[in-house]
Each structure stands twice: as structure tokens, then as C-alpha cells.
């Protein structure tokens, strides 16, 4: 019977196998037919221009694969058809459908905002706009936020449009200025747009405008067809974001705007705002298909590298996106179902509550291997805490039987929590892998080349050196092992292969310190094991680097480094060429050693030439690893297969450590897998002592913050807006009202009006209830399980929260009753104690004594009840919740602004609660009750939020935007008041109407409008070109006079430490720090008071400046524009002592001007972002020395700064000197005190001072700070008192720079692209 069953089963299996084979053959034939049909259809549907007749290169293979997907589909969008027909001929690869659609919109003359993930080809859209303008004979501008990115784009466009047709203008360099296509930093274009005049204004014959705006400035943008604003999401960056906003607001009406941005949540709002501002149809084009080169995310610790998510194809930018979370990616319900395994259920759902991980889609949840490691770590921490909480016999008993519940803890819960946190930090510190371990593992799994992001310049350099040291150490270990186990080269060929393989296998084995054996090339060796193996070997590493470029050393680099021998030779050849051409800044042997290993570093502390060299090596696959700061993530095209993010937190404002924002992390991750270079990219998050995989998941999946307006007007913008309005403020007010913040406020008000119409009188009540609920939700999100698990659990469960609220209300009522009872008893006792002495005579007091004792006893008992009730209230969970809320409200962590906004709206109608007071538990119970009422109403009817598709958070945001006061117009008025006080603008006779004043721009005002500095008015004042003509700082003079009458003479407090210094004994020209010389002139001014004191001070400052040498004035200008050196630099006293005698006099006088301007700015309430004034002495010495002719190495030694920092300082000073020296020619009247003429208009910078600035710039402009930006011709004249000898005409050297098209230089502004690193 058994045999028959087996035979029957075998027959059935054989039949099934035969049927399966037949089905497989049928499927094969069907697939062949389908492929043939697709091939034929593609041949007919694909345009001829799509066919690349030349052999396809490896770089374009990926592009072609992705483009074929679009070519198979019928094109219905007319804009896409128009874009393909117009622009496909300019590109060697098929353009994507969204790119073609953007091109069609550009052809139609519309503004375009193109949003796409990093590496998706946004720059193609920008190049389309350039092609359209170029072939129509008009000009175009391409802007980038970084100088390095501008340089790279300049090189790319030259190859496309020809070298003669492309120019470059950055803070460092100007090449072929006036070309048809210009590449520049965004600040440079902003300055040009300030001075641009629309066609209708340009046709005006207003003489004032002709004086203020040069013909060169007018013609620069008159033929501008389009401007491309790359990295448009920088608009939300604090400090610089206002530059992009000003570019949109002030661009000429005939100029088309093409903005390229990463994905933004409020991109649609930006497009609507741009359309309203520019009065041109604006279209948002988004690439919803995801990254063309998908990303995958991994996590690295000492145990190895694992995928972060349970689905390796999930994540931002991954093939499946966020699996439908927030509408991103492919939902899991649409994916092919697979059978659930037990490990899936245990690893994904069982431990979610244990670790507090949000309920994301299953594919976005933590990899079960990482979760298992976390669970083991948690169990280990619990054992250690339990062990340390016991003593003596209890500890031994615990070790014998860990499940013995009879053993009690000997420490408090608070101490237990501290121990748990301490042990957790120790455990997390143990998980941090070394960089060498990461490099070794990435190399094994073929994930190089890679960019390692570190937020420290020193860390980047040290990491590169450490990797090279470990390579040498491992090579020495390998060599020592080969010496101990040599392979006999005389083995006969007939020897058994088993013996040969045994010897080969033995050469690949390693032993650690514990005697365990491992394969050297194994992918499963942990960091701890690898360290034990190498440290246990007796090896010697020669750290001395001698002649690394010698040919006999190149083989050793190929053996131990990451490059092949041919690559090492190529790198050595390039280094030799660079060093021969750049003797003064040649690479050190240490850097050469790193380059030959295939390792480099890249940060702002390096010279631009050195950074460009590293970028070129990396692009040519001659460098496998780069350690860089986050500035490298801003769009520089470097072929990285992998990005490694070594820190998940960064030091922010105030020195606090904050988790990285999602946008910043995705920007860095997006450098991996560049289109046309890789089929996919990998981002590796590295474990840190403070952050783990949970924080990494939260950052990656969190929503990107929307762009917020950073618009803030400055002095230069105010002057140029007045010029646009022909002296009226109408244009200025109109343009300021076009800011994105005001537009958002208007939109919010419109939405709220709709909500008010729906709910009528109940609107305020609903808003208050929504604010209460939002406050509790924000508090829940901010607290989390890690901060306070008990409070988090209560906030998470609405029923528990309701019970806790009622419980606290009951306890609070009991406390109030007990306190009322105590008050009644005390009053009764007081009444008994006040019995008259007559009662004592009658013997009545003895009768009441017993009652007195009873009442006192009852009072004592009542006080005990009150203490007990107070303890119950203080230990209640609602009290703990209030403490956590107040702690968060005083912090600056991410998300606390939403909490503050909800609290502010909650207290809007509360009269008895101060806005800034602490949150009380009673107030929280009221919030809970209100939230419960709100939920009850929602079940009965739709509330305001739901009826408008607006959640609580959105409604609160709209309320905050609508109620937030925009003070841009007030800031502009404050700036205008200061400009008027300093004689830069003067009211005209037409300005009798106070509601519509009119101004005339003076020479000083013209200077302010042309200077592109942080505070152009301060630069003008510090150079003696403007002063307080209206004496708005008279209160300061009165205050000084009162101090002098009391015997106090220090006017600034800056030189308090200088009183006892012998250096100042020789400086007796100054009278009690007043800044005026003891000369007949000053005494006459003081006695006659023919001119105001501010004018006299300005005259003294001008005379002192004219007495300086070019190198001295360069040092002085650095005090006005350069930032303080990194690390603090020398003390103020030490820096002041290094200055020349003439420089010290000028510094003393400038402090008087600084005080006066600060006083006026405070008086008119100028915004902090526009009021910055400084006299920074830390850079004066090195700038003076460099201008005087010191060598580069000497300058580095004097400054003590990194080469990149020093170059940036010198460039900034050089740019400022050129701006001052290139100001237009204007006749200058004398402001000398002896002349006795009171000037009601500031005269601008003196010609002699401008001439000194030009000479100083010429002296500074030498290698490696060489900047080929010539000066314009300037023949200075002074109609009042200068003779021919006083007019210092330009030298022959200056004249040599006047003969090309770059002669009319537009003042440039510094580029604030230096990274802020911890």
C-alpha cells in the first residue's frame, strides 16, 4: 500500500513538472512577441532626434534608459511637445518629459519654478532658458549661491556656448564681463537689479536719475532676457535668504525668471507669489517621478553596515519613496503582496512600543537586525542598572538568580534614571565605528568613491591623515604576515593543488589577540575584531614622509592605497605640474601623501586653488575618498557613489546642538548617485555617541520645512528704491509690500475670512479650542518617550489624559477646601484670643481654654492635611506635564515655535493671564477640557478646520501668519530717517505734503546706493563721507558733556585697558578721548562753534585718512568689513599695539563716528540686520602687511588663520577697496572746520581717499589673491581748494587696466558661503 502511494505521488509530480515546462515555453514565446511589438512601436514613436547615431558613452547610458520610458508614451501636453521641438537639438541625451514641459513654458515667456530631487537634471531647465536667449540675440544671467559652483558652471557653459560668449563675475573673479551669457553669484545680480530701471522709467529724462544711475548700470540689464536663479531654496536661509527674494522683487519687468530648486512643500505658494510680484504668468514644474538615480539608506556601527529600513527600496529618493506616507511614493497596498514571516511580525510590530518609533508604513520601519541589536542593548542596560542598584549580598543573590523578585532596589527612581542615561551613553559610544573601518567595508562592498561629511574643518584634515596612517599600518601588518608565512616559489608544478590552496588560504588568515582565526577579506569582521588583530601584531609604521613623488615610491602607494599604479602616476604628474606653476602655494608633502593614497579633504579653510584641484581629482576618478564640510553638498557635480554622514546633529545659534534638518540631510545624501554616472546611490548614516538609528529615521522621514521670507531692507536698497521712484517713496513702498511674508499674510487673511463666514460668532471660541488641542499635540510631539515616558503616555492616550485632568481638578478642589477650612479655624482662634481682660476677671477665660486647645489641635491637623494635599498636587502627572511644558517653552529646540504660537493663541482672550507667564497645571486641565469639548463637537458637526481641508496645525499657522505684524515698511522708513539725518537724501520743495514726501539723492546717497556692503552707510561714515548733518545725536553730546563735568573721560569704553599702557604716553594729540587734535584749528572750532561737532569730527577723520599710506588704509578698511578671525584671535589691546601711529589715530576717530551712528540708529529703531557697525582690529595687521608686500607664508604666520580664511579676508577687503575706489567722479566741497561753512548735505568720500583705495587694491591684487578685475577711469577734481599738485592722477600701472571691456566695474558684494562648523 505504501509503495502504491509513493508511485502515485511520483506520477503526479512528474505530470505537474511536464505541465510546468509547457507553461514556461508558452510564456517565453509570449514574452518574445511582446518585446517584438514594443521594439516596432518604439521605432515609429521615437523622434529621429532621439536616436544617437554615435556610440553611446558609459556616462549617458543611465540617462538613455530613463529617457526611453518617456519616449514610449504618447505626448499630449502641448508645452512638452513645444519644449522637445525647441530644445532637444541642444542636448546629446533625450530630455525628460517634465524638462520638456518646463522648456515649453519658457518658450511661451512664462516664469518657471522647477522643483526636482537632487541629481534629477534641474540645470537642464536653466540651460534651456540660456539657449533661448542666446539664439535670439539677447543676454542671459545664471546665478548660483556659491563661488565654487559659479566657477564650475562657468566652465560647463563655455564648452556649450563658446569661451567668448560666457563671462564670470564673483567676489573672487571677473572674466569677460559684458558677455552675452554671464555666470555670477546671486549677490552680484542682486546689486545689478537694485540699480536696474524699467523701460518706462528709463525713457524718462529726469536729470537726478541720470546723475544717480550710470549709463553702464542702465544698459547692463536693458537687454536681459532671463535670469536663472539656481538653488532657489536658499531663499529660506537665515541671513542670505533675502537676497533671492530681492532678486525676484527688483528684477526688470522684461526679464524672465527661471528658478531651480530642490523639492519644497510650499513651492506652489512661491509660484503664485512670483506671478503677483513680476506680473508675469509663473508656472510650477515638479518632477513627481522621483530621482532618476534612486537612493538607498544604510546605517553603520561597529558591527558593520545594514540597511536602515525594513524595505531596502524605501526612503526619500528611493525607488518606492515613502511608501505612500504623506502621499510620497508607492503605497504598500499597491505593491506585490508577500507572505508575512514570523521575523517580520516580531521585528516590526512587537517592539514598536518599546522604542517609541512612530507608526510609519512597515517598509519604513527599522530593519529587524538593527531593531534586534537595540533590544539587546536595552536588555543589557536593564541588567547593568539592576546590578548597580544592589549592594553586598543582594548583588550576589541577583547574580545567582536574576529573576528573584524578592531583591529590592536600593536607589531612588531619579538616581536609577541618571544611571540608565549614563550607561546608555557608554553603550552608544561603543557603537561608533572608526573611519578606517568604514572605508574598508565600503571598499569591500564596492561603494567607493565616497564623500564623508564632517562639520569640522580640523576634523576633515585629521580624518584624511588618520585614514592614510591606517592604510600604512594595515600594509605593514600584511607585509609582516607574508614574511612570517612565505610561499615557496620553487614548488613544482606537479605538487598537489590542495597544498597550494592550503598555503594561499593560510596567507589570508589572521589571528586576533584572543587566538581566534579570521579571513582577512571577510565582510563579517567587526571593528572590535579588526582592531584587536592589528593592535596585537608587532608592526612598525614609518610616519616620516620623504619625497613622496619619487618614482620608486609610487608602487608602494598603489599597493597600500585606493588607487591603481596608473592612477597614482597620473595624480603624481598633476601634483608636479601644480607645484611647478604655483611655487608659493604648492602642496605640502603631507597633502601629497594623502592624494597619492586616493584621499583628500575639502573645506573653506583651504585655498580656492587647492579645493579646485581636489574637485578635479575626484571628478576624474583619481580620488576615492573626500572628507568635506556641508558646503560641498550645494550642487557641485562630483561623481560620488556614496555619501557618508558622520554627524546627525550640528551646533546652532547659541551653541546648542540640534538635529539636522531634513532638507540639509537630503541635500548631502543627494550627492550620491549622480545621474549619468551611477545606476543608484547610497547614503550611509554613521552611529554617533549621541544619536542612533532612531534619530536618523526621524530626520529622513520628517517633512521638509517650508521656505519662509527672510526679506529685510538695507540702506543701499532704500536709496535705489527712492531713485526708482524719482525721489518719491511710492515705488519703495510698493516693492517692499511685494515681499513673500506680506503675500503669505494676505493669503492667510483671505482663508480665515472664509472660515469666519462659515462659523460666524463661534469663530473665536473654535479658534481657542483648536489652539488648546494644538498645544497638547505639540507638547506630545516634543516630549516623546525618551524625555518623559509617563507624561508621554498620558498625552498619547486621550482617555488617560481626560482622567488625569479630572483627577487633578478633584485634588485641587480638595486643596482649596482644606485651605478654606484652615482659614475659618484661624479666624475662630483669633477671635478667642481677643477676649477682653474683663472676661478673665469673671472667670470666663478658664471656661473657654478647653475650646482653645481643641481649635489649636484642629489647626495642626488641618495643616497636615494641607501638606498632604499639596504633595498630592505636586506629585500629580499634570504638574509634571506643566514643568515639562515650561522647560520646552524656554528652550530653542526644533518645533518649539509651534508650541509657543498655540499658547499665544490660547491666551489671546485671557485677561488675567500674562502672555509670558508659566503654564500652570490648572491651565492645562482647562486645555484638556476644551479639547474634549472640541472632539465632541466634531462628532456632531464639521469644525472650521475640517470644512476647509485644514487641520489644526494648518489653522494655527494661518492664524499666526495673519496676526504677525510685518514691519518691513517700518524698517524702510527708519532707514530713510537715518539717511536723511546723515545728509544722504534731502527733502525737496515738492515734499510739503507729509503723506507723500519727495527726496533728492545727494552725492553721499549715491555712494551708499553703489556700495554693496553689509552696512554701506557705515562704510561711508567711517571713510568720512557722511556725518550727522541734522545733529540727531545731540543727546549723545549732552551725555558726554555731563560725564566730562563729572571727571569721566572715556567715551567708548573700548580702551579702558589702555590707560596704563606706555604706548599711549606719546599720543597726546587727543584730548580726553574726544578725538580732536590740540591744534589751533580745533581750538578755533571749539571756541567759535562755527560748524557742528559731527561735521568737525568728519573733517578730522578725512584729514587723518588722507595722511595714510595705501597699506595703512587697506588695514583700516579691513576693520570695517572683515569678520573677526576664527578662534577669537588676539586681544584688542594686542591688536591695537601692532598698528601704526597714524592708524591708531584713525581708529580713535572712527570710534566717535561709530558711537554717533549707533545712537542715531537706536533713535530711529533701525532693524538689527541692517544696523551692523564694527571696528574689528583682528585683521588689520595682516592686511596691512600683505598690502605692503609681505610674502604669502609671512601673511599666514602673522594672521594665524587657515589659508582659505585668509584668502577670503583679503578678497573681501580687496573687493571693498575697489568699490570705494570706483565710486563715480563728483566735485567735493571742503568740510574743513576753518572754512566755517555748515554743510547740510554730506559730500561723499573724498577723491584723495578713493585714490588711496585704488592704490591699495592694486598692491593687494597679487598672487595668490590675484583678481583680474580692473578699475574704471577716474579723473578726480576738487573745485574748492585743491591745486593741480593735490590731484593725484592714476599711475601708469593703473592706466594699463583701463583699455578693455571690464573697465566699468559694477561693485560686488561678498559671498557669504562660508560654512558654520562646530
What confidence score (pLDDT) does residue 1304 get? 35
The CB density around residue 780, as the number of other CB atoms within 10 Å, is: 16
What confidence score (pLDDT) does residue 214 get? 40
| Rounded Cα–Cα distance for residues 110 and 103 (Å) | 10
What confidence score (pLDDT) does residue 913 get? 74
Cβ–Cβ < 8 Å for 979, 1011:
no
Torsion of CA 785, 787, 788, 789, to 10 degrees: 20
Query: 150: closest CA among 185, 121, 192?
Result: 185
Burial 1169-1205 (b: 16+ CB within 10 A, else e): bbbebbbbbbbbbbbbbbbbebebeebbebbebbbbb
What confidence score (pLDDT) does residue 1086 get? 41
Cα Rg for the chain, rounded, in angstroms?
Answer: 38
| Rounded Cα–Cα distance for residues 287 and 99 (Å) | 8
Q: At which residue does the C-alpha cell 506630545 appear?
A: 780
Locate 802 and state its grid cell: 481626560
| Rounded Cα–Cα distance for residues 222 and 225 (Å) | 9
Cβ–Cβ < 8 Å for 413, 633:
no
What confidence score (pLDDT) does residue 40 get? 46
Locate 918 and state its grid cell: 508659566
Cβ–Cβ < 8 Å for 354, 366:
no
What confidence score (pLDDT) does residue 1068 get? 44
Locate 560 and state its grid cell: 597600500
Query: 329: closest CA among 359, 291, 366, 357?
Result: 291
What confidence score (pLDDT) does residue 351 get? 39
What confidence score (pLDDT) does residue 1084 get? 37
What confidence score (pLDDT) does residue 997 get? 83
Give the H or E element holding residue 112.
Answer: strand 111-115
Spell out the alpha helix ranges (H) of 545-625. 551-560, 565-581, 589-597, 608-619
What confidence score (pLDDT) does residue 333 get? 60
Locate 1007 and state its grid cell: 555712494
Locate 28 and state its grid cell: 517565453
CA-to-CA separations, 8 to 3, 19, 809, in angstroms, rounded: 9, 17, 78
pTM for the full predicted model? 0.74
Query: Could you tell me how far CA 345 lies from the centroid of its own chain?
Result: 40
DSSP states along 951-1003: -HHHHHHHHHHHHSPP-HHHHHHHHHHHHHHTTSEEE-GGGGSTTS-BEEE-H
295 phi and psi, to 5 degrees?
-105, 150
Peptide bond into 449 cis (omega under 30): yes
Residues of the chain with pLDDT under 50: 1-3, 11, 18-19, 40, 42-74, 198-218, 337-358, 392, 404-407, 486-507, 942-949, 952, 1051-1058, 1061-1088, 1267-1318
Locate 1163 and state its grid cell: 533713535
Amino acid at each position: 500500500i505504501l509503495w502504491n502511494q509513493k508511485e502515485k505521488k511520483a506520477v503526479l509530480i512528474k505530470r505537474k513538472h511536464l505541465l510546468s515546462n509547457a507553461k514556461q515555453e508558452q510564456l517565453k514565446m509570449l514574452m518574445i512577441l511582446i518585446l517584438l511589438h514594443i521594439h516596432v512601436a518604439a521605432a515609429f514613436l521615437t523622434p529621429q532626434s532621439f536616436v544617437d547615431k554615435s556610440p553611446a558613452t558609459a556616462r549617458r547610458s543611465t540617462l538613455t534608459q530613463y529617457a526611453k520610458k518617456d519616449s514610449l508614451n504618447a505626448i499630449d501636453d502641448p508645452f512638452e511637445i513645444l519644449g522637445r521641438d525647441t530644445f532637444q537639438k541642444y542636448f546629446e541625451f533625450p530630455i525628460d518629459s517634465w524638462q520638456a514641459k518646463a522648456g515649453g513654458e519658457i518658450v511661451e515667456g512664462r516664469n518657471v519654478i522647477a522643483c526636482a530631487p537632487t541629481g534629477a537634471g534641474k540645470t537642464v531647465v536653466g540651460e534651456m532658458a540660456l539657449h533661448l536667449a542666446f539664439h535670439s540675440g539677447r543676454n542671459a544671467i545664471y546665478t548660483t549661491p556659491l563661488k565654487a559652483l559659479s566657477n564650475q558652471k562657468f566652465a560647463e557653459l563655455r564648452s556649450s556656448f563658446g569661451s567668448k560668449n560666457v563671462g564670470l563675475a564673483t567676489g573672487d573673479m571677473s572674466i569677460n564681463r559684458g558677455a552675452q551669457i554671464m555666470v555670477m553669484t546671486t549677490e552680484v545680480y542682486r546689486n545689478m537689479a537694485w540699480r536696474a530701471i524699467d523701460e518706462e522709467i528709463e525713457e524718462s529724462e529726469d536729470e537726478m536719475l541720470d546723475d544717480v544711475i550710470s549709463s553702464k548700470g542702465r544698459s547692463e540689464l536693458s537687454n536681459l532676457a532671463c535670469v536663472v536663479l539656481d538653488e532657489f531654496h536658499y531663499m529660506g536661509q537665515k541671513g542670505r535668504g533675502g537676497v533671492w527674494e530681492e532678486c525676484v522683487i527688483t528684477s526688470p519687468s522684461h526679464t524672465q525668471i527661471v528658478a531651480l530648486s530642490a523639492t519644497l512643500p510650499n513651492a506652489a505658494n512661491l509660484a503664485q507669489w512670483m506671478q503677483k510680484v513680476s506680473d508675469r504668468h509663473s508656472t510650477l514644474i515638479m518632477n513627481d517621478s522621483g530621482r532618476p538615480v534612486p537612493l538607498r539608506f544604510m546605517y553603520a556601527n561597529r558591527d558593520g553596515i545594514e540597511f536602515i529600513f525594513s524595505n531596502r527600496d524605501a526612503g526619500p529618493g528611493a525607488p518606492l519613496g515613502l511608501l505612500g506616507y504623506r502621499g510620497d511614493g508607492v503605497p504598500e497596498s499597491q505593491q506585490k503582496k508577500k507572505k508575512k514571516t514570523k521575523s517580520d511580525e516580531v521585528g516590526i510590530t512587537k517592539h514598536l512600543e518599546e522604542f517609541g518609533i512612530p507608526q510609519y508604513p512597515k517598509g519604513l520601519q527599522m530593519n529587524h537586525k538593527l531593531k534586534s541589536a537595540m533590544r539587546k542593548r536595552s536588555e543589557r542596560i536593564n541588567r547593568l542598572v539592576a546590578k548597580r542598584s544592589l549592594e553586598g549580598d543582594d548583588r550576589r543573590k541577583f547574580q545567582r538568580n536574576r529573576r528573584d523578585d524578592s531583591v529590592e532596589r536600593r536607589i531612588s527612581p531619579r538616581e536609577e534614571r541618571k544611571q540608565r542615561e549614563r550607561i546608555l551613553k557608554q553603550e552608544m559610544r561603543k557603537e561608533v565605528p572608526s573611519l578606517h573601518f568604514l572605508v574598508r567595508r565600503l571598499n569591500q562592498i564596492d561603494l567607493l568613491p565616497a564623500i564623508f561629511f564632517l562639520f569640522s574643518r580640523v576634523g576633515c584634515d585629521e580624518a584624511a591623515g588618520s585614514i592614510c596612517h591606517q592604510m600604512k599600518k594595515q600594509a605593514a601588518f600584511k607585509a609582516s604576515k607574508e614574511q612570517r608565512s612565505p610561499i615557496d616559489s620553487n614548488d613544482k608544478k606537479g605538487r598537489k593543488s590542495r597544498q597550494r590552496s592550503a598555503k594561499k588560504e593560510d596567507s589570508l588568515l589572521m589571528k586576533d589577540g584572543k587566538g581566534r582565526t579570521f579571513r582577512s577579506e571577510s565582510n563579517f569582521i567587526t571593528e572590535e575584531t579588526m582592531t584587536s588583530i592589528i593592535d596585537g601584531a608587532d608592526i612598525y609604521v614609518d610616519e616620516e614622509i620623504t619625497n613622496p613623488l619619487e618614482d620608486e615610491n609610487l608602487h608602494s602607494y598603489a599597493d597600500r592605497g585606493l588607487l591603481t599604479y596608473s592612477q597614482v602616476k597620473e595624480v603624481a604628474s598633476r601634483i608636479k605640474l601644480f607645484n611647478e606653476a604655483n611655487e608659493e602655494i604648492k602642496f605640502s608633502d603631507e597633502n601629497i601623501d594623502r592624494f597619492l593614497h586616493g584621499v583628500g579633504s575639502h573645506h573653506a579653510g583651504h585655498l580656492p586653488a587647492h579645493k579646485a584641484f581636489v574637485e578635479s581629482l575626484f571628478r576624474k576618478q583619481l580620488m576615492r575618498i573626500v572628507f568635506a564640510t556641508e558646503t560641498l553638498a550645494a550642487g557641485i557635480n562630483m561623481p560620488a557613489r556614496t555619501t557618508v554622514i558622520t554627524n546627525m546633529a550640528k551646533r546652532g545659534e547659541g551653541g546648542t546642538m540640534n538635529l539636522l534638518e531634513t532638507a540639509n540631510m537630503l541635500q548631502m545624501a543627494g550627492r550620491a548617485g549622480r545621474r549619468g554616472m551611477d545606476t543608484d546611490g547610497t547614503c550611509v548614516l554613521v552611529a554617533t555617541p549621541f544619536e542612533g538609528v532612531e534619530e536618523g529615521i526621524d530626520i529622513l522621514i520628517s517633512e521638509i520645512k517650508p521656505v519662509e521670507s527672510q526679506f529685510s531692507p538695507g540702506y543701499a536698497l532704500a536709496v535705489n528704491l527712492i531713485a526708482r521712484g524719482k525721489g518719491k517713496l511710492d515705488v519703495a513702498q510698493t516693492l517692499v509690500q511685494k515681499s513673500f511674508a506680506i503675500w503669505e499674510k494676505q493669503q492667510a487673511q483671505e482663508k480665515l475670512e472664509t472660515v469666519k463666514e462659515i462659523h460666524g460668532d463661534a469663530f473665536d471660541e473654535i479658534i481657542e479650542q483648536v489652539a488648546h488641542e494644538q498645544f497638547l499635540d505639540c507638547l506630545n510631539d516634543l516630549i516623546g518617550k525618551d524625555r518623559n515616558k509617563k507624561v508621554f503616555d498620558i498625552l498619547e492616550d486621550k482617555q488617560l489624559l481626560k482622567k488625569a485632568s479630572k483627577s487633578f481638578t478633584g485634588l485641587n478642589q480638595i486643596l482649596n477646601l482644606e485651605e478654606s477650612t484652615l482659614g475659618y479655624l484661624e479666624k475662630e482662634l483669633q477671635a478667642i484670643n481677643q477676649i477682653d481682660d474683663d472676661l478673665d476677671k469673671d472667670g470666663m477665660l478658664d471656661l473657654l481654654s478647653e475650646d482653645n486647645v481643641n481649635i489649636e489641635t484642629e489647626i495642626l491637623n488641618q495643616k497636615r492635611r494641607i501638606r498632604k494635599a499639596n504633595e498630592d498636587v505636586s506629585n500629580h502627572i499634570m504638574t509634571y506635564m506643566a514643568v515639562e511644558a515650561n522647560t520646552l517653552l524656554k528652550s530653542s529646540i526644533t518645533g518649539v515655535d509651534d508650541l509657543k504660537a498655540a499658547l499665544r493663541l490660547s491666551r489671546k482672550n485671557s485677561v488675567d493671564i500674562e502672555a509670558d507667564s508659566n503654564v500652570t497645571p490648572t491651565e492645562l486641565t482647562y486645555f484638556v477640557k476644551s479639547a474634549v469639548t472640541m472632539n465632541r463637537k466634531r462628532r456632531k458637526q464639521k469644525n472650521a478646520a475640517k470644512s476647509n481641508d485644514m487641520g489644526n496645525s494648518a489653522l494655527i499657522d494661518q492664524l499666526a501668519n495673519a496676526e504677525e505684524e510685518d514691519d518691513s515698511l517700518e524698517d524702510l522708513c527708519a532707514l530713510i530717517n537715518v539717511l536723511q539725518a546723515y545728509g544722504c537724501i534731502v527733502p525737496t520743495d515738492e515734499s510739503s505734503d507729509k503723506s507723500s514726501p519727495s527726496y533728492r539723492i545727494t552725492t553721499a546717497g549715491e555712494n551708499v546706493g553703489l556700495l554693496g556692503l553689509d552696512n554701506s552707510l557705515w562704510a561711508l561714515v567711517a571713510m568720512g563721507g557722511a556725518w550727522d548733518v541734522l545733529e540727531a545725536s545731540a543727546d549723545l553730546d549732552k551725555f558726554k558733556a555731563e560725564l566730562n563735568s563729572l571727571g569721566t573721560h572715556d567715551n567708548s569704553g573700548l580702551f579702558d585697558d589702555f590707560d596704563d599702557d606706555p604706548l599711549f604716553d606719546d599720543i597726546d594729540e587727543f584730548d580726553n578721548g574726544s578725538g580732536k587734535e590740540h591744534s589751533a584749528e580745533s581750538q578755533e572750532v571749539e571756541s567759535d562753534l562755527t560748524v557742528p561737532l559731527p561735521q568737525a569730527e568728519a573733517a578730522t577723520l578725512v584729514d587723518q585718512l588722507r595722511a595714510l599710506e595705501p597699506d595703512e588704509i587697506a588695514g583700516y578698511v579691513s576693520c570695517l568689513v572683515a569678520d573677526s578671525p576664527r578662534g577669537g584671535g588676539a586681544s584688542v589691546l594686542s591688536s591695537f599695539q601692532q598698528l601704526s601711529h597714524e592708524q591708531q589715530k584713525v581708529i580713535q576717530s572712527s570710534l566717535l563716528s561709530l558711537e554717533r551712528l549707533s545712537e542715531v540708529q537706536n533713535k530711529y529703531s533701525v532693524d538689527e540686520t541692517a544696523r551692523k557697525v564694527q571696528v574689528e582690529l583682528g585683521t588689520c595687521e595682516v592686511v596691512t602687511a600683505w598690502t605692503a608686500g609681505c610674502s604669502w607664508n609671512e601673511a599666514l604666520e602673522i594672521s594665524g588663520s587657515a589659508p582659505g580664511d585668509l584668502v577670503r579676508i583679503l578678497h573681501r577687503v580687496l573687493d571693498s577697496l575697489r568699490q570705494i575706489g570706483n565710486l563715480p567722479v563728483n566735485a567735493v566741497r571742503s568740510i574743513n572746520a576753518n572754512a566755517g561753512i555748515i554743510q547740510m548735505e554730506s559730500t561723499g568720500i573724498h577723491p584723495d581717499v578713493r585714490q588711496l583705495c585704488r592704490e591699495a587694491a592694486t598692491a593687494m591684487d597679487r598672487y595668490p589673491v590675484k583678481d583680474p578685475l580692473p578699475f574704471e577711469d577716474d579723473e578726480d577734481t576738487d573745485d574748492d581748494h585743491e591745486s593741480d599738485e593735490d590731484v593725484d592722477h592714476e599711475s601708469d600701472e593703473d592706466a594699463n587696466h583701463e583699455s578693455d571691456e571690464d573697465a566699468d566695474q559694477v561693485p560686488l558684494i561678498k559671498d557669504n558661503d562660508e560654512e558654520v562648523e562646530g
